[in-house]
Amino acid sequence: MGSIDSPNDADNDNNRQLAGTSPNFAVNPPENESYRRRKSSILPLEVGTRVLCRWRDSKHHPVKVIERRRVHGGGPNDYEYYVHYTEFNRRLDEWVKLEQLDLKSVETVVDEKVEDKVTSLKMTRHQKRKIDETHVEGHEELDAASLREHEEFTKVKNIATIELGRYEIETWYFSPFPPEYNDSLKLYFCEFCLNFMKRPEQLQRHMRKCDLKHPPGDEIYRSGTLSMFEVDGKKNKVYGQNLCYLAKLFLDHKTLYYDVDLFLFYVLCECDDRGCHMVGYFSKEKHSEESYNLACILTLPPYQRKGYGKFLIAFSYELSKKEAKVGTPERPLSDLGLLSYRGYWTRVLLDILKKHKGNISIKELSDMTAIKAEDILTTLQSLELIQYRKGQHVICADPKVLDRHLKAAGRGGLDVDVSKLIWTPYKEQG
């Protein structure tokens, strides 16, 4: 996001500019009186109002008022407003005070199409790469009516921050915690069993009794300080549900699993002498008729921009290779999810094409990589590396073109050392 100026910088600039214009700038009765009358007539702001709001960068951005609540002990017009920044993703929605809103802009018309584009608007290549590292928003299987219902139900973040291990993390989205947590703006998680509590002293008592130092599953990978644990949702139902509650705070259209029995969770950890600390995870169905090898994926905010998201995607394909199956992520993918996977597919396929001598078929590529043939075809088509000749697809692999596409695809992130993966596919377990 870059450096953030002091919130007062813009105000000081305005004051300096005004002070230099006229010694009488502070007393302009007609304008001030008119503005006071107008301000009185529009407050409190209605839900749905569009206005400019001062954000963390000290600049004003267009917002839509999603919800409002009275300020405790305030007057009849004293409200806080929950706003959606129409230029940005919903994860930036927040409660703001009245002084952050530019009431002179209340009648400003904002293009309705802005909200439909959300993250695709005003997003630089650097920002897309940054989000690519963050997470893939899976489970966006909602039709238009369901999406509206989902957004209405989840429009206001219920938990503002969480404490997980040594990190305090600002949340991004609503998560349907049990009703008894409705009044909790902050939750405290045990970083090993993922039980959550309302107060820090509850967490301290819990940590004295909790004997876990890693996720409650089998360690299937250890390379240096990185470990991967496989957690069976049926054997560890509470942990699986807690993980879903936690993940939903950072995934917008993810479906929360109450029936976690059908899923396996692969939890990536950084390990030290205090234990194995969760970095991120992906889930997959135990049995998928559609060859899905990944359902949801998340890298927690403190661990972003370190290549862990790409590592998790690569790991899901290494499991597919062990199963002797082709795999593909659960559909439909979000735009950012497709961006993440297209980057992975591009790097893997082009690396092979660069090294391979002679012709190679899409089926052979699929057998080598465990990537589904349809995903290989669409990736190569998007790179304009495939042609249809005499009833069959032909791969055109000019070395200079391959190098250009590889450079554009960016770094591959952390490598999975397959020799350190000790794992038995689920169908073969006891």
Question: 118 with 145: CB under 8 angstroms?
Answer: no
pLDDT in tens, 197-231: 999 999 999 999 999 999 999 999 999 999 999 99
Position 107 scores a pLDDT of: 63
Task: Give the contacts of 236 (CB within 8 A, at least 6 positions apart).
Answer: 216, 217
pLDDT at 183 over 90: no
DSSP letters for 208-222? HH---SS-SSEEEEE
User: What integer is the mean pLDDT of 109-116?
Assistant: 45
Going from the C-alpha of 335 to that of each of 137, 204, 339, 382, the distances in angstroms are 9, 41, 6, 15
d(CA 387, CA 3): 46
**Highest-confidence segment of 26-30, 71-75, 400-404:** 400-404
How sure is the predictor about 394, in pLDDT bands with cuts at 50, 70 and 90? confident
Position 287 scores a pLDDT of: 92
Question: 241 with 258: CB under 8 angstroms?
Answer: yes
Q: What percent of the chain has pLDDT over 90?
A: 57
Position 398 scores a pLDDT of: 82
pTM for the predicted model, two decimal places = 0.75
Position 143 scores a pLDDT of: 63
pLDDT in tens, 157-168: 889 999 999 999
Structure-block tokens of residue 396: 């055109």
Position 145 scores a pLDDT of: 66
Kind plus residue range of the DSSP H or E element containing 148: helix 144-153
pLDDT at 61 over 80: yes
In DSSP terms, which residues pair with 267 in a beta bridge?
229, 281
Query: How far, in whole angstroms, is CA 402 from its chain's centroid?
Result: 30
pLDDT at 118 over 70: no
Position 7 scores a pLDDT of: 31
pLDDT in tens, 328-374: 999 877 767 788 899 999 999 999 999 988 889 999 999 999 999 99
pLDDT at 264 over 50: yes
Position 17 scores a pLDDT of: 32
Question: 246 with 190: CB under 8 angstroms?
Answer: no
**Highest-confidence segment of 36-40, 55-59, 86-90, 120-124:** 55-59
φ/ψ of residue 410, rounded to 5: 80, -175
Catalytic residues: 330
pLDDT at 292 over 60: yes
